[in-house]
Amino acid sequence: MHRGMSAFHAILEARGLFGSVGAKGFVFTTTGHSPVGGYSRAKERIDVVMERLGAGKKQGNKIPPWRFHDLRRTMATGRARLKIPLPVIEKILAHSGTFAGIVGVYQLHSFAAEKAEALEKWGNAVEKLVSGEIQKTGCRHVEQCFASRKRG
């Protein structure tokens, strides 16, 4: 199993959410057997889980309005905080950005290794957030908290 996927499953299991993964391994599913088809129903389920976990404590357990696209924005911003180069972030998001125009014609590198490294770094950061490790370290700056940790 892919290391990132096993870490993801470990996070779900630690949060008591592993049962919410469908029979075919889909996390974002309304049937348990296929990818999301009804985004509004899936989002409602996510909001319920977030409220159960206390994500809306400051708003009286109400989740502030959000959209799925906010997750892409959060990941892009978080990766920039991790000092991942903008071209790599754009490649992960499938944006043209710095690759628009003539650059896109001549720059044909896939950035596969760079994307894999960036995704690993992002996965480590998410693991630290979910596990509470960041709160334990007392980091003053998010970049320090998200620094890659050594694996044995």
CA–CA separation, 119 vs 130, rounded Å? 16
Amino acid letter, residue 40: S
| Confidence at residue 82, expressed as pLDDT on a 0 to 100 scale | 92
| Confidence at residue 118, expressed as pLDDT on a 0 to 100 scale | 93
| Confidence at residue 114, expressed as pLDDT on a 0 to 100 scale | 95
Question: Phi-psi bin for 147: left (phi > 0), alpha (psi -120 to 50), beta?
Answer: beta
Residue numbers of the chain with a pLDDT score lower than 50: 1-4, 148-152
CA–CA separation, 15 vs 73, rounded Å? 24
From residue 60, give the alpha-carbon distance in Å to each of 5, 20, 66.
33, 25, 16
| Confidence at residue 136, expressed as pLDDT on a 0 to 100 scale | 59
| Confidence at residue 128, expressed as pLDDT on a 0 to 100 scale | 85
CA–CA separation, 63 vs 90, rounded Å? 29
CA–CA separation, 143 vs 35, rounded Å? 34
| HSE-CB for 129 with a 13 A CA cutoff | 11
